[in-house]
Structures are given as C-alpha cells and as structure tokens.
Amino acid sequence: MILRVQSKNGTKRIQTEQSDTLQRFLEKVKCWDWESEFLAAYPSSQTGDRDYQYSHVISRHGDMLYLAEKKPSGVVGDKMSVATVEEERVDCELAARDGKIRRKRDPQLCHHGAEGKCMNCAPLDPWDPSYLSSFDPPIKHLSFHCYLRKLTSGVDRGKFLNLEDLRCKIRESCPDHPPWPAGICTKCQPSTITLSRQLYRHVDNVMFDHTGIVDRFLDGWRRSGRQRIGFLLGKYEVYDHVPLGIQAVVSAIYEPPQVGWIFTDLEPDGRGGKVAYKRSIHTHLLTAEECILAADLQNKYPNPCKHSAAGYFGSKFTTLCISGNEKCEVEIRGYQVRVDTRWSQSVSQLLSQARGEYGTDVMKEARPLPLEYLIIELTTTSPCNPQPLLPAVAEPLFPVENRAAVGQAVQDPHALSSYLTSQSHSSTNFLCLMADFHLLLFLFTSDVAGIHMKTHIPSLCRAILEGDRAAGDAWRHSEHWSTIEQLVAGANVSPVHTTRATTTAATSGEQWSCVQCTLLNAPGSAACDACQFPRVSS
C-alpha cells in the first residue's frame, strides 16, 4: 500500500507493506526527510486526533501522515525561549545599552536651538560606515552586538531573526545507492558553499593584565627552543574603544601537557635576539591544521545567544599565535575561526566571493581553500597602567606546570619548599606570596603530603582577589596550611637518596637518584625506595 507523508519539505508517497514494522517504515521516511526527529501521525479519517498512537500509524492505503521536527527543550515556535538562554554577564550589559553614537552640535551646520537635533548632530547607529572608517586604523569588523543591532533595526525589529551555524551533513540511508562512502547522489549531498568575508567578530580585543604573563610563557621557549601551547584564563569585559565591543582580559596562562599543536612559532634568525619572519599575507597566517584545531576548540565552548533557535551561536574562544613580524621581532597575533572547518568531504562545490576588477562581486572556485575567509583577526594589547587580577610575585617564581619534558623544574614538595623559604619572599605579604596562578593550581590539583587542599583553595583565592589581608592571615594560621608549612620546613634540607635500581644498573656503574631530591625531570621506570618518587639515571 502507499501512504502519504507530509513535512516542511513537501509531500511524499511512500510504498510500504502491511507486514512492515513502524521502525522499518520510519527508516523509509528518513531516506526522504532526514532532518525529522519524530513522527506525528494523523490519519485522514482522524485528522483532529493529536494523541493518535504509533501502533496505528500504518493503517490503510492512502492515509496522510505528518512529520514534525523535534526541537530542543525551551523552544517556543521557531525560536529558543529567551528565558531559557542564560547569556554571559558582558552580553547582558551590552544588550541593555543604547549603543547610539552621540554627536555634539556643529556651530557651523546646526542652526537650531541647544535642545534640537538635525542630521548633522543626530546620534549615529553603531554600525555607521562613515563613523567606523574614521578610526585609525578603520574598524573592518562590527562587534557582535553591533551586528545584532543592525539585524534588529528594521521594521520588524528582528522578529524573524534566527542565527544558525552552517551545517554540512550527508543525508543518511538514501535508498538509491549504498550508504556513504560507498555511494552518494545529489539528493543526499550537501549543497554548494559560497565563502564571503564575515562582517562581525565575537571578541574585538585581547588584553593581558601585564606583560609578565607573556614573558613567563615565552620563557619556556627561550629555555628549551620547543614550541609551547597554553590556555588563556581570564574574563570578558566591555571594550569601549569599539561600539558595543567585547574585550578578553587574560590574567593567567595554563600550560597543559603538550599535544603537538604549534602555538608559538618562533625560530632564531641568528642576528642576536631576532626571530624569523615567516607568517604573512604572502605565506600564511594560520596553517590548515591550526585552523581545524581552533575551530574544534571554539565548537566546544559555544557562545550563548537568545537570537538562535539552538540557544548558542558562534564562540568567544580566541586563538593567539606568537611569531616573528616583518621587523623580526616577537609579536602576538589574535584570531578567531569564523566557521566550522570540519566540512564534509562530499560538498558538491565550494565557491568564494571576491571583488572583481570593475568593483563587482565575482564567484570563483575556492580550491585550494583560501584560509583568509575562515579567520578573523583580533587586536592584542597590554594596559598602560596595569591593574592585574593577581598581584605581581617577586623572584624566584614557582615552576610552571608540565615543563618537565623541556628540562625545567617540576612542581613537587621541594619546589614548594624552595619557593616559600626563599630569602626574597621573607618580607613579602602572604597574599602576594600566594598570588601565583601556577602555585594555586599546584595546591588545588595535588595532594601535598596527603593533605587535600581542593576544598580550602577557593577561600584563599577570594582573599587574594579582594585584597583581604585579615582573611589571608586567618587562612595562613589554619590547621591545613600550618601542617604543610611544617612538612615544608622539614623537607628544606633536600637530602639525596641513593638506591640501586636494578642489577643491570648496578653492574653498569650507574647511580640512581631521587627526582624529588635532585629536581631532575626525566621520568624513570622505577621509584625511589626512600620517597617513592620517580628516579632517573644521574
């Protein structure tokens, strides 16, 4: 028999058998309308019965069935309910602003009273091209909230605005050929993609609390010559230098166990402190692999947005690359990837939009893929008058995590002992002494001599951020920290425990030393008999 199925894509006649199960029938339906999540069945004889059960779907020849697309929780109509989307604080603050660019009365062109307005002094929209081009350099990309104001400035006030990310999926279970990758046709193949330059960016500027954050990160490269990757930790704030702009303020850099992605790309050029200039418009700004990884990280941290049916649109996650500039000096460049670069390999055609010789937009095949269409450049700055979230810590600094592979000191109890008992820290305020991000991370993630500090670190962090010396002194005299200070004082002698690792080592004349005591970094295959820390060949 033949059943009629109707959805937003039209009506389709599907041939089925009385013996078919509902699951088999839905597989046939999915071959035609692969986006539908569930089936709403209203046979022609009972059109008004919206509680019709699935067991009665396959009824008789000629029945009409209706498909409906499943929406995520909180969806009202075609949009996510505004109440269910919890946007970030900076987005809520910018959404409440008027955003208009105020202009003073021009004494030569304005012939009205002091309270009047004319076209020469009326407030400008934040996306006004003449105003954006007046900056030095001109603003090429609108801020995201400026872009939203532009979309919602029409007669409908953004009633039908719906932001959606690009989707390039292959339609599954096509009945005309074997499943992908064995076969594909025009019905299940993604549509043609046309690349054009993005008009906006989610983050307009990246600022470091102080230059010492970058210097400490670069120190890992200076000492080892190996490229490093780090995750930026901080907050988003309003950026007043751009209409309705957003600024990412970096307060610390966490260095995870290295995964091979080149974040720093620095090579000495042999001219005394100069580095090679390799990244430019004539070579590349980001490689394809870096773009793919940046896009993957952005997808993991989407931006909450009430103007999207999914509740998310884009991402504020940024990518910074440290490389040499045209003067062969170290320079930090900021980027965001504008679309998900994990496109399907079966996209029928990929086009790019560019400006022709006569000033018109022309289309051409985008092969090889022009990466300049996929990245948005961000400015990076440091404040003239730094007011860091974490106070500056005097030398020596606590070791940075995960640098053992490049031959630098490891984070262990003896590193903590050396840091706390250093003569340069003897007169330092306790809150300033503890205001080292890498020290706080070490105390939070490790059990120092079996003492769990995870539940106690948040109160110390609050005291540091608020500058509350009384709370800091109370934390310092707590039982858990007093115990650690006693253990640290006992470990300050730093004896070297010598053991015999194996018969092979003893025979060859090698001597094995404890990593905890000698602060060596290469991991061994055994543990020191005295303290159970890994040991290495000395």
CA–CA separation, 180 vs 172, rounded Å? 8
Express each pLDDT in 381-412 by its tens digit.
Answer: 888 888 888 777 777 888 888 887 777 788 88
- What percentage of residues in the chain have a pLDDT greater than 90? 8
**Which H/E stretch holds residue 336?**
strand 330-337
Alpha-carbon distance values, 481 to 94, 440, 476 (Å): 42, 13, 6
Name the phi and psi angles at 229, rounded to 5.
Answer: -130, 145
Please, which pLDDT band fits residue 203 given cuts at 50, 70 and 90? very high
CA–CA separation, 467 vs 481, rounded Å? 19
Express each pLDDT in 65-84 by its tens digit.
Answer: 776 655 554 444 445 555 57
Average the pLDDT over 193-207 and give the result. Answer: 87
Helix (H, G, I), strand (E, B) or coil at 53: coil
Q: Give residue 495's pLDDT.
A: 34
Express each pLDDT in 96-121 by its tens digit.
Answer: 988 898 888 888 888 888 888 888 88
SS3 assignment for 398-410:
CCCCCCHHHCCCC
- The residue behind tokens 């194996």 is 502
Does 195 score more than 70 pLDDT? Answer: yes
Angle between helices 437-445 and 457-466 (to 10 degrees): 160
CA–CA separation, 338 vs 315, rounded Å? 9
Please compute, for residue 494, the number of CA atoms within 13 A of its CA located in the half-sphere on the CB side: 15
The secondary structure of 366-381 as a DSSP string is --S--GGGTEEEEEEE
